[in-house]
Chain A
Amino acid sequence: MSRFLKVAALSVGAALALSQPLQAGSFGLGTPASPEEIAGWDIDVRPDGAGLPEGRGTVAEGEAIFTEQCAVCHGDFGEGAGRWPVLAGGQDTLTSEAPVKTIGSYWPYLSTVYDYIHRAMPYGNAQSLSADETYAVVAYLLYLNDIVDDEEFELSKENFSSVRLPNEGGFIDDGRPDTPLASEEPPCMSECKAEVKITKRARIIDVTPEEDGEVSGMAVD
């Protein structure tokens, strides 16, 4: 290699050496999110009231909005049309064969109602309700669930956190594993049973989808 080429190669090497491996936390990527940008997307509401916007709405106002925009799926009284979710009633059903899990019977926090309605409802036109309209619909759902009984009741940012739902205490931590580990109960490998009997058959219930015909069975949503 000539002296000239050697010098040229060295100078390119020196320039490349300025690029260094990156360390986490120092990538310098992304752009600062402005307060306006955050405000447009930061829509979540927590049980302690964090995230609630200014606003207010009454049961009566909520009824009008609900009737127009929600009742087609949820029924006039939150009873649910077809397979759409039931929103009201269901008290004392959680231990039954067919629990009805509604805002009044199951949901632990009112903030979830506000958060979900504003972010995801009306179905197919999400984030279209104003803060006042959302407060009003939430107030109406409290009324349908007999948690407030006054049509003039007004829900607002100020009184929101004072409303508690009946099943707030109905939730416990994950209790798993709740079946024996191998160390506690080594699995049997041979001559484990004296008799085997078929106890349940899908053919008898038979709700597997066919090419034609409606079937019904236990639904999961």
Chain B
Amino acid sequence: MSRSSKSHDGPANPSRRGLLKAGIAGAGLVAGAGLARAAGGDPANLPPNVADWSRYLGPGVDAAPYGMPSEHEAQVVRRSVEWLTASRESSINFTPLHELDGIITPNGLCFERHHGGVAEMNPTDYRLMINGLVDKPLIFTLDDLKRFPRVNRLYFLECAANSGMEWRGAQLNGCQFTHGMVHCVMYTGVPLKYLLEEAGLKTNAKWIMPEGGDAAGMNRSVPIEKALDDCLVAFKMNGEALRPEQGYPARLVVPGWEGNMWVKWLRRIEVGDMPWHAREETSKYTDLLEGGKARRFTWVMDAKSVITSPSPQAPILHAKGATVLTGLAWSGNGRITRVDVTLDGGENWHEARIDGPSLPKALHRFYFEFDWDGSELLLQSRAHDETGYVQPTKDALRAVRGTNSIYHNNGIQTWYVKADGGVENVEIS
């Protein structure tokens, strides 16, 4: 690390206060809360004194029939970047990855991406139509769907444009903004195969076109092999009904593939013998390469990882000594088998500890505990999956694709930790 800290050409370190302000941009409340905790709290509540909450009764049951997080966690919310899109109804916000742990994303924090706002459907009027190359076109009610055998599966969903703003260089200070278009929940739903077989696929059925009931009528082409393999029509997430912004009452689950294909508010599936070349698979969600040609049908989300803490919105607020580094890794091609981390910008790597379930096409949580000596760090993580794929550097991706791809940026992220604990999004040689 000593070499890197000597050779970087950044400006003189600003004050700790200024650093934290910059590092926690967009999350100003965090700084206040974090610093207060670090300062030690109110002596009246600390030993040997006895706090009010230890003396007097608190709220009883049903104070909140649907429980909400502690008021002290008010900063843990989805956030958006206003300049990214022209309107709020066709826009995106980001999961606060830096505040979360484990591999499950709480339902209310799963990032949102809509193309025509949230379709406010009532479950009684929900219908799913299957038509096209089938023996008998069918319409299912939500109650019909719930009479099929159902399964529970944990999958990540990542937008193909996650990290898309970083193709040309470090741009956003916070893993919520650089990597927050991903979430991972337990879906309960019906294998799509059962629904298609109920309608009876004709022998020339090669593709399906799921279509949303929203004001964008979101439609994509999915090859029949994937549809019959592991796709689900889900109506629950983490045990409760899908949230409206996640497709209530039913959405498509396309494990490991780009989030845009996971059609929300699913109203129809047409079966056909060729792809539709819908707007979202031609004008958008195609990857323009340097020579001017564009890749299409780039469905799978390659292996990727990011350190969620320390990160710009989660600076180190303690002195040198025992430090926990943690992050997330995932692959659309299966399980994560290994995550390497470096503290010195890639001079030396260490194998991180994966903790919690290791499930295919789901988030994996990793940790690396180290004794911080208080000096500057350049943190990176590198994911490996069970196909032998290794997460590449951003420069390696640029070398083969250029900088106009927008989508599928799974390059290695670098965080620059300064001596005072502030963290910045950088790229390194």
Contacts and interface: CB of A to CB of B under 8 A. Distances in A.
A44 B276 contact: yes
Interface in B295-346: 295-300, 302, 312, 340, 344-346
B206 interface: no
A217 B171 CA distance: 8
Interface in A1-56: 22, 24-25, 27, 29-33, 37-38, 41-48, 50
A116 B345 contact: no
Contact of B217 (A120, A198, A200): A120
Contacts of B80: 209
Most central of B174, B276, B284 by chain A CB within 10 Å = B276
Given A174-B297, A177-B302, A32 B347 contact: no
B215 A198 contact: no
B361 interface: no
Interface majority SS on A: helix, strand, loop or mixed? loop
A219 B292 contact: no
Contacts of A37: 129, 139
A172 B170 contact: no
B296 to A, nearest CB: 5
A85 B276 CA distance: 22
Contacts of B90: 123, 221
B217 A179 contact: no
A47 B274 CA distance: 10
Contacts of A123: 87, 90, 116
Interface string B339-359: 010001111110000000000
A212 B425 CA distance: 21
Interface in A175-193: 175-183, 185, 187-193
A174 B72 CA distance: 46
A174 B86 contact: no
A176 B170 contact: no
Interface stretch (B57-65, B235-243, B366-374, B384-392): B384-392
Most central of B278, B382, B406 by chain A CB within 10 Å = B278
Interface stretch (A59-67, A100-108, A139-147): A100-108
Contacts of A188: 349
B389 A219 contact: no
A198 B10 contact: yes
Given A170-B293, A174-B298, A83 B85 contact: yes
Contact of A107 (B282, B297, B344, B346): B282
Contacts of A215: 83
B86 A84 contact: yes
Contacts of A179: 390, 392, 396-397, 400
B83 A219 contact: yes
Contacts, number: 304
B147 interface: yes
A195 B283 contact: no
B406 A205 contact: no
Contacts of A203: 10, 22, 173, 424
Given A41-B268, A175-B295, A218 B171 contact: yes
Interface string A125-157: 011000000000000000000000000000000
Given A109-B282, A127-B217, A188-B349, A180 B390 contact: yes
Contacts of B283: 101, 103, 106-107, 112, 116
A177 B282 CA distance: 21
B131 A33 contact: yes
B295 A174 contact: yes
Most central of A103, A119, A181, A198 by chain B CB within 10 Å = A198
A159 interface: no
B172 A202 contact: yes
Nearest to B29: A211
B173 A208 contact: yes
A108 B348 contact: no
24 contacts: A25-B198, A29-B148, A32-B138, A37-B139, A41-B267, A46-B277, A99-B404, A124-B116, A126-B217, A172-B295, A175-B295, A179-B397, A182-B389, A196-B4, A198-B428, A199-B426, A199-B429, A202-B171, A202-B172, A203-B10, A211-B26, A216-B83, A219-B165, A220-B84
Given A172-B294, A196-B345, 15 more contacts: A27-B147, A42-B131, A101-B283, A109-B282, A119-B217, A120-B217, A120-B279, A173-B295, A179-B390, A181-B389, A189-B348, A193-B429, A195-B7, A198-B8, A201-B426
